[in-house]
């Protein structure tokens, strides 16, 4: 949850919102005038709801991370293919230039002989 240039990441905002909601709900349950068993039941229900929400949130994050990883792999493969073709083109250009220079040197040596 870092702050860069006064802006927080969306993940930090979501986690802060959920944490604030959980704390608020817990305080509301504890401060209501109900009997012990009713309060414990409310706390238990809140804990189950919080656990379910945390599980859903972690599944969502895991899915997004997997998607991002797949996109990253595709991006790397695409850039790798571009670099390989550029390298091959460079090798071909170097070979052509080498042949041109060798031909030029041969012509100059024939002219001098």
pLDDT for res 94: 95
Instruction: Give the burial class of 57: count Cβ atoms within 10 A of its Cβ; 0-12 exposed, 13-18 middle, 19 or more buried.
Output: middle
**Two structure tokens written together for 49:** 């709801």
**Two structure tokens written together for 38:** 């009713």
3-state helix, strand, coil in the chain (%, to 5): 90, 5, 10
pLDDT for res 2: 47
pLDDT for res 75: 95
What is the percentage of the chain residues whose pLDDT exceeds 90? 37
Read off the pLDDT of each residue in 68-96 and give the average, rounded to a whole number: 95
pTM of the model: 0.46
For the ranges 44-58, 66-80, 94-108, which has the lowest average pLDDT?
A: 44-58
Read off the pLDDT of each residue in 1-9 and give the average, rounded to a whole number: 59
pLDDT for res 6: 60
């Amino acid at each position: 949850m870092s702050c860069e240039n006064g802006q927080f990441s969306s993940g930090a905002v979501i986690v802060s919102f959920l944490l604030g909601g959980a704390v608020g709900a817990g305080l509301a349950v504890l401060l209501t005038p109900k009997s012990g068993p009713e309060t414990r039941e409310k706390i238990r229900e809140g804990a189950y709801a919080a656990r379910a929400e945390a599980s859903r949130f972690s599944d969502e994050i895991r899915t997004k991370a997997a998607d991002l990883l797949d996109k990253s792999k595709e991006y790397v493969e695409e850039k790798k293919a571009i670099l390989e073709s550029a390298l091959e083109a460079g090798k071909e250009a170097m070979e052509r230039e080498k042949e041109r220079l060798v031909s030029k040197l041969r012509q100059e040596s024939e002219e001098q002989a």
